[in-house]
Amino acid sequence: MADTNPNYPDLLGSITGGARYNVNVAQVALGVRPRNVRAGRTLEVILLIQNAADVDIDVTATLQIPTQDAKKKPKRFIAKSERLVVGLRPAEVGYVVLPVTTLPDTAVSEYKIGVSVDVKAQGKPKRIRSNNGGGLVDPQYLSADTLSNLEELKKVTYSTARRGLMGAVIEASFNVMSAQISQLVDLKAAWVSLWKMSDHHDDSLLLNQYAAQLQSDVLPKLKRDTLYQPLYDTTEQRFTQAGFALQPAEVHYITKLMVYLLEMAAPQEETPNYLNDARYDVQLALKKVLSGEQESSTLPNWCKGMLKAIEASPQAVEQPALALAGTAYDDLLRDAIHLGFQMITTSTGEKMGSEEDMSDYAEKLIGKLQAGQPPLGFSDIYLPLVLGGVIIYDRAILKTEQVGDMLTELSRIVKSRYAEVHKRDEMVYHMTEQVVDRAFQKFGYRA
């Protein structure tokens, strides 16, 4: 790894001003909101939790409420849920909310409430935050929602005072004031995740955590026979939902482009790099990124999407094809669009625009797919996705693929779509005819 001693952002410390209590590989702090509560009202017991390890952890938070009030009356404090078990992903930060209701005749006084904290690490943990906290929190890498949540939590006073000698129980103080008629609020126990590595706008954290898995466990599984069908199904579904009913041959060539792109991530002799572009060789790029030779921004978009998928679910490592056809699909599509434009330029000599132009085009097309408006047209489908797939038709060939039959079918579909072509699509239509015709000539016959 480029950084052998990572120290992830200390969000808990930024909320509490640095106060924390270490329980196993978790860092916690306890607060009460509001600190001054009217008798008969409900307060929230807030347990901040920050995972300081690179593995999943399970945290059990158990309330310890006062058994009587200042006048020795029992059961003046009621909790619907006294115990909550939550799972945190590596480095995740969040908080448990445990509501406690005071009865209307609870004596006015200061009270203390405790929470027992039990932490169990899954696997062998490696510390990624120091015992004293973590790295600086840079607002530019946080989402607007996270920043807003942090500001609200900073309004609470936190305690790390420990009760007793055995176990991990921390306690905080609050005041019960005289009763006042007001509307009851029904609060429920909850877990609120504030931040995960995938929420960080800098991909270096995810890369540091999951690069080894991506390199050793994911890349070897990127094979055409397992990738093709999930990507085919998602492509057909997404474009149909956006108002363009793709024909099977069109889906095939779009999928083929994606499969070829992914196989270049760990290239074998049978999958040569058509453009000799190092950005698609993820295996090589990872080595350079992790050794500090280049920035993580040089990795393909699908790679970053895959890192987020792994962070969200360990199953993504076992079945990367499903993750790429799922949450990482749009990231993969961005790369496929870029690759398709590069191939068209190389094959036809037509200049497709600058890097910025290609990126803008990709975002607009993905936006149409997500919104379904405006409806997709011929150019959206063929430029550059179908055309890119046709150009590499003889690469990443499937075991059951009939190459000549599929080219013939696409040629028939292109002719049938001429009636749908608007004037603005004519240039793309004629380019499609040329690319398909060249593929036939390369294959050995004309349609």
Residue 329, pLDDT score: 98
Q: Which domains does the chain have, with CATH numbers?
A: 11-199 (2.60.40.10), 204-443 (no CATH)
- AA identity, residue 64: Q
Burial tier of 72 (Cβ tally within 10 Å: 0-12, 13-18, 19+): exposed
Name the 3-class secondary structure at 47: strand
Contact yes or no for 52/25 (Cβ under 8 A): yes
CB 263 within 8 A of CB 222: yes
pLDDT tens digits, one per residue of 313-354? 889 999 999 999 999 999 999 999 999 999 999 999 888 889
User: In angstroms, rounded to a whole number, what is the distance separating the alpha carbons of residues 338 and 255?
Assistant: 14
Per-residue pLDDT, 112: 97
* pTM (global) more than 0.85: no
The fraction of the chain above a pLDDT of 70, given in percent, is 94
Instruction: List pLDDT tens digits, range 118-128.
Output: 999 998 999 99
Q: What is the mean pLDDT of residues 299-309?
A: 93
Q: Which residue has the higher pLDDT, 47 or 185?
A: 47
Smallest CA-to-CA distance from 443 within 407, 411, 397, 401 is with 407
Query: Between these two residues, 180 and 312, which has the higher pLDDT value?
Result: 312
CA distance 244 to 241: 7
Which pLDDT band, with edges at 50, 70 and 90, does 165 fall under? low
First and final C-alpha spacing in the chain: 53
Name, in order, each residue with C-beta under 8 angstroms of 430's C-beta and a sequence gap of 6 or more. none
DSSP 229-293: HHHHHHHHHHHHHTT----HHHHHHHHHHHHHHHHTTS--TTS--TT--GGG-HHHHHHHHHTTS
pLDDT band at 268 (very low <50, low <70, confident <90, very high): confident
